[in-house]
Amino acid sequence: MRAILGILPKRGRATAGNILLGERDLLSLPAVILQSEVRGGQIGFIPQDPYQAFNPVFRVGTQLLETSRTKPGAAGRDGDKANIISLLKSVQLPDPERALDRYPHQFSGGQRQRLLIAAALASSPAIVLADEPTTALDVTTQLQILKLLRRLTEERGLSMLFVTHDFGVVAQLCDTVTVMYAGQTVESGPVSQILAAPLHPYTRMLLACHPDRGAALAGIPGAVSSPLRSPSGCRFHPRCPSARAECSVALPPRTEHAGKQDVQCVLYGAEAAA
């Protein structure tokens, strides 16, 4: 996610591949363009922790208007303000006109998350990246926010990349899902298909850990390897019950199953080739 936004920590860099937004490869864009057009422009970002995303000593309005002020083509102070207030209305924040003059501590967690969603939408982005935006919230507030996100994406024809570890949230909110393990994608496809018939051993074991699913509470044996000493080949092979000798040699190619379900696992390579 940070690679998409071009905000990887100093020591990290995307070394290969492309990140295409429309026709442009974000990895080859200069930092200035990323800042002025992409971040907070074509891409909106909703951070994980609504309690830490605001600076406590500045009014909410100052912080929300800052993004649009630094972008070229701003509608001017009053235009921006009107835009933000209309967004605050669409995220159903109570009393939107007065909200801008208040400080972050005067809002509850759910309200702050609404403010952050409004901020992410301020530049009318084409895509919104949401990094576990409901992890810090209670279930009842989480439901409010999920419903809001679903409505906003439908109304505005917005795409959303939603990062989460909660399969229940995925089931309720998303159309497609990609399962990652230790920096590799292992499986992706339509949510209903993957929940009903997961193919990759990791996806299967992960779903079996869900308190609603698993017959016995066991967990996946072993622990995620350190990123400094990643196993060769498929990174899940040291913990995989179906691992074979070739798993440690190379990552198997991605194969397609049952229409749109992509999986990267030797178990399914032969079938697809046949």
Partner 1 sequence: MTGARALLEIEDVVTLYGGGKRLLGKPRPVVRGVDGVSLSLKAGQALGLVGESGCGKTTLAKTILGLVRETSGTVRLDGQVVSGLSVREARAARPTIQYVHQDPGAALDPWWSIGHALDEALRIHGVTDRSERRRRVDEMLDAVGLNPTFRSRYPHELSGGQQRRVGLARILVLSPRLVILDEPTSGLDLSVQATVLGVLDGLRKRLGLTYLFVSHDLSVVKRMCEQVAIMYLGRIVEMGPTEEIFARPQHPYTRALLAAVPKLEPGSLHDTPALPGDPPSGTTERAGCVFQTRCAFAVSKCAEARPPLAFVSDEHLAACVRLNEIETVAQI
Which residues sit at the interface with partner 1, rule CB under 8 A? 108-111, 138-144, 146-147, 150-151, 165-169, 171-173, 191-192, 195, 205-207, 209-214, 216-220, 223
Which parts of the chain fold into alpha helices (H)?
2-5, 31-33, 60-69, 76-90, 96-99, 109-121, 139-156, 167-173, 191-196, 201-208, 266-273
Q: Measured from the CB atom, is 159 or 192 closer to partner 1? A: 192
SS3 43: strand
Residue 231 to residue 239: CA distance in whole angstroms: 11
State the minimum distance, in angstroms, from the CB of residue 87 to partner 1.
Answer: 20
Q: Measured from the CB atom, is 39 or 239 closer to partner 1? A: 239
DSSP states along 245-272 = GGGGT-PPPPEEETTTEEE--HHHHHHH
Q: Measured from the CB atom, is 15 or 140 closer to partner 1? A: 140
State the minimum distance, in angstroms, from the CB of residue 68 to partner 1.
Answer: 28
State the minimum distance, in angstroms, from the CB of residue 70 to partner 1.
Answer: 32
Q: Measured from the CB atom, is 46 or 65 closer to partner 1? A: 46
SS3 71: coil
Q: Measured from the CB atom, is 160 or 169 closer to partner 1? A: 169
State the minimum distance, in angstroms, from the CB of residue 63 to partner 1.
Answer: 21
Instruction: Evaluate whether 204 touches 241 at the Cβ level (below 8 Å).
Output: no
State the minimum distance, in angstroms, from the CB of residue 51 to partner 1.
Answer: 11
216 secondary structure, DSSP code: S
